[in-house]
Homo-oligomer: A and B are copies of this chain.
Amino acid sequence: MGPTLSQLSPSGVPLYQQVKRAVLAALSSGEWKQGDAIPPEKLLSERFGVSIGTLRKAIDELVMENILVRHQGRGTFVAIHSQNQHFFKFFRVVRQDGEKSYPTTTLQRFRHVKASAEVCEKLQLRAGAHVFEFINVLTLHGQKVIVDTISVWDVMFSGLTKQQLRDRPSTLYSFYQQMFGINVIATDERVRVSLADADHADLLSVEQGTALLELRRVAYSFHQTPVEWRVSKVNTQHYEYIGQEHIVT
């Protein structure tokens, strides 16, 4: 254990933000892994040399960002993506009657290719970098509703295979965590309309030229590092996308 934060930095940066950074550092260094309980608040406040109130303010923000989860009486844990409510933070397609359902995934294609200019830009890669590109078809209530085309940097996901993707027992982001130690904590998602090409029409069992919802998403890990580029095409005949949900007051 090093020196306390308050001794290190009279930098004008609030203490609780320094604590937050230190916790994030411990997370991305792998000191605490997904599903782990982190040390109790009392212990952490001593480790960082701050009061319990300051420590709690730092943890509060990390909880708000879905990076940690608190359970009264049990402890504070590193968030797991496969948990219900967290999953639907990132998966926002529901039936038009509002019914939420877990999708089942079918891996359609898996390639190792040179990244296109667009992929390089979105993933902040230098030109000529290679990516794994794979296509998933998602089924909801027995209907094929979504086609995901996903690109990830081959260096970051070194060793990724078709078989691993097929066999993963959990959600994709949970798989990223378990196999590669990569935590998806935020996304930037844009929506537009596009028309089904021959491939998508086939995969979704619709006519070519059918209007589809097109989601374009960059997923980020700690320190705003982009880790995944995804284009989803959604058949919204019976489904819809949750753009903004009610904030309860």
Interface residues of chain A, those whose CB is within 8 Å of chain B, are 24, 65, 67, 92, 96, 185-195, 211-213, 215-218, 220, 222-224, 236, 239-249
Shortest CB distance A14–B (Å): 13
Known contacts A92-B244, A243-B241; is-contact A193 B220 (Cβ 8 Å): no
Provide the main secondary structure of the chain A interface.
strand
Instruction: Judge whether A213 and B192 touch: CB under 8 Å.
Output: yes
Shortest CB distance A229–B (Å): 14
Chain B residues, CB < 8 A from A220: 246
5 smallest beta-carbon distances between A and B, as pairs: A211-B211, A192-B236, A189-B243, A191-B241, A186-B247
Q: A246 contacts which of B92, B187, B243 (Cβ < 8 Å)?
A: B187
Number of chain copies forming the complex: 2
Known contacts A211-B195, A211-B211; is-contact A190 B246 (Cβ 8 Å): no
Instruction: Judge whether B247 and A190 touch: CB under 8 Å.
Output: no
Chain B residues, CB < 8 A from A246: 186-188, 218, 220, 224
Which of A65, A195, A212, A246 counts the most chain B CB atoms within 10 A? Answer: A246
CA A187 – CA B245 in complex, angstroms?
6
Q: A193 contacts which of B186, B213, B224 (Cβ < 8 Å)?
A: B213
Instruction: Judge whether A247 and B65 touch: CB under 8 Å.
Output: yes
Instruction: Judge whether B249 and A190 touch: CB under 8 Å.
Output: no
| Given contact pairs A67-B249, A189-B243, A218-B246, a sample of 18 additional A-B residue pairs in the complex whose CB atoms are under 8 Å apart | A24-B249, A65-B249, A185-B247, A185-B249, A186-B247, A186-B249, A189-B245, A190-B240, A190-B243, A191-B191, A191-B236, A191-B240, A191-B241, A192-B236, A192-B240, A193-B193, A193-B213, A195-B211
